[in-house]
Amino acid sequence: MHRSPTAAVAALALLAAANLVGCTGGSAPPAADGSAAPAASTAPLPTAPGSSPDSAGSTELTGMVGTADDPDAYAIALLDASGSPVTTLPAGDYSLTFSDRSDIHNIRISGPGGVDEATEVRGSDESTVEVSLEPGTYTIVCDPHSGTMRVELEVTG
Ligand SMILES: [Cu+2]
């Protein structure tokens, strides 16, 4: 989470305003005549910034063999969430989804930390695995064609 100092100040001002409302609005007199008082005494608390439930989780990656048009193409790549090939990444936890729709290729990622995840050559595999990438060099290969279908990923600390 990256928050600018300006946003932090604004959040503090918001909290101060909320406290002020809480102090002055605590002693509303009861409605004695039975008429319905306007329900304005309980203002909802402002949601704390940065507490959304979807902020947890790991960065998404796609390991792709072939191309979108031709699953049997002799191509292999690691893609980020926007679909762009990546060759360097910061160390951390990643959610890697395979895109292997070929009967002649597979995809394997291996490297530091004992990471070794692969699909089968036969059949399709579009499953997702969680990987913890440590600083160092990982290789992404198609096992039957590891001489040509091979990319390296540099993970930085
Ligand atoms: Cu292959």
Structure tokens at 126: 């579009």
Average pLDDT (39-54) is 47
Measure 2 CA to ligand 1 centroid, in angstroms. 40
Alpha-carbon distance 109 to 132, whole Å?
12
Q: When comparing pLDDT for 17 and 78, which is higher?
A: 78
Measure 143 CA to ligand 1 centroid, in angstroms. 6
Measure 106 CA to ligand 1 centroid, in angstroms. 6
Measure 76 CA to ligand 1 centroid, in angstroms. 8
Query: With a threshold of 0.75, does the pTM exceed it?
Result: no
Closest CA to 62 of 137, 134, 151, 135: 151
The predicted-structure confidence for 52-111, as pLDDT tens digits, reads as follows: 334 446 899 999 999 999 999 999 999 999 999 999 999 999 999 999 999 999 999 999
Are 118 and 106 within 8 A, CB to CB? yes
Q: Alpha-carbon dihedral of residues 129, 134, 135, 140, nearest 10 degrees? A: -30
Residues within 5 Å of ion ligand 1 by Cβ? 105, 142, 144-145, 149
- Give the pLDDT score at 35: 52
Closest CA to 104 of 127, 79, 78, 70: 70
- Give the pLDDT score at 154: 98
